[in-house]
Amino acid sequence: MSVVGQNTQGWVLDACSLTDQSYSRCIRLKDNQKSLVTCRFKRQCFQILQSHYSVSASAAVDGANTDMVQKPDKPSKKRKRKHSELNQGEVDSQAFHEKIRSVILEGTKSLVDSVRSLGYLNGVTDSAKEPLPSQECSLVALCEMAKELPLVDDEEQDKCVQLLVAEDGCTSHVDLFSRVTENRADWATVVTLMGEEYVIPPHTAFLLSDFTRIQPLVHYGRRFDLIVMDPPWENKSVKRSRRYSSLPSTQLKRLPIPLLASPNCLVVTWVTNRPSHLRFVRDELYPHWGVEVVAEWFWVKVTTSGQFVFPLDSRHKKPYEVLVLGRYRSSVNNSSSSSETSEVPVEDQRLIVSIPSALHSQKPPLSEVLKPYVGAEAKSLELFARSLQPGWTSWGNEVLKFQHTSYFTLMTTDDRADVPEEEATEVAPLPPLSHH
């Protein structure tokens, strides 16, 4: 069960279990042979055992903090600044933190306590200490090279969609960079793409491209009821680490949200803890798209023991991130939209508590917690995605990153007791996805 517990303050998620639900049935295509496999996301990615607390840290989920794993202070190599030397951004950040601190502290304690009685967040792990997967991702470089490929003309919109697996079972001619690729199968499929094996969830569609080649997604012809995005925000640590390319905030305004969103579409944006980014989303980006801000939520990151992963009052890294939720208000038939009358209000300041992935920038899937606000049949899109979700369309220049088989444990199985005979030998396609 992916939603371990919930109350009026939010949810506790088991992100790993939620990911595994996508791969309960999986077919592997290799060397023109099909085999049944079981796929599980590697558990060591979610074994965050220790809080990054110093001995002097005092803020904890349980107040008394008697079971917190402490790490000794290390001498800083940098010159420490005086309190009076805080810049305006740091002053704004501290003010925002003080505003929401009690919401984070009290809400997290309530949620963690509620699931500990169920045996969750009690420090128990289900895997031995193993190294993290270290797959070198070359997708960004491939997207750069793919810019030399011709774009699909507007008159050839029907050609911007392709099947992951052709009728003959072949995947060798799939154009991942200028066409939306669909896996219409009921099962997850392990396929070889660009010489590497990837696990593709069922009922999913994706486009592998950078910001300048997003046109095929618009040509795809779908309007989405839910759009989630995790932009590559600019900050100093990203520049130093060079782990991924950042994007200037003003460039985000070029995203074609009005061409992708259905009336009253729920738009959710992950925001770093820099107040300038939060203000930009609320005051510039959403108004530019015609999106009305309706709520701010917080993702709270805890260890397997339910402790904050960083000190709550740290001036550097916080144990939470912000999500800004808004509704797209279409200027066409805005007042008479049938979906508007049944729109479910979004509560403000809800918490999503989960053990974070040890893999950089892997966010917890939001499908389960957002379902009540968009409906079970909602068409969903993730922008700047690094993984895929069943039933979703995803776009980004690393959209397949966490689908690489190096992040999964794959085991061949002969258990076909619950498998219909026709599906045991073939990947059964669904009817074509509607494009409206």
The vertex-213 CA angle with 210 and 218, nearest 5°, equals 115
CB 381 within 8 A of CB 396: no
Q: What does pTM read for this prediction? A: 0.85
pLDDT in tens, the chain (436 residues): 589 999 999 999 998 887 788 888 899 988 778 889 989 998 888 877 777 654 344 344 544 333 333 344 444 455 555 555 778 778 888 899 999 999 999 999 999 999 998 989 988 766 556 777 776 778 888 888 887 777 666 555 567 899 998 776 677 678 899 999 999 999 999 999 988 999 999 999 999 999 889 999 999 999 999 999 999 997 655 444 444 466 888 889 999 999 999 999 999 999 988 889 999 999 999 999 999 999 999 999 999 999 999 999 988 789 999 999 999 997 764 444 444 447 899 999 999 999 998 887 789 999 999 999 999 899 999 999 999 999 999 999 999 999 999 999 998 876 544 443 444 334 333 334 444 3
SS3 of 203, please? coil
Give the chain's domains with CATH numbers.
3-49+123-414 (3.40.50.150)
Q: Where are the alpha helices (DSSP H) in 84-235?
A: 88-116, 139-145, 215-219
Long-range contacts of 146-153 (CB under 8 A, 24+ apart): 146/177, 146/178, 146/208, 146/209, 146/213, 147/210, 147/212, 147/213, 149/175, 149/177, 149/178, 150/178, 151/178, 151/213, 151/215, 151/216, 152/178, 152/179, 152/215, 152/216, 152/219
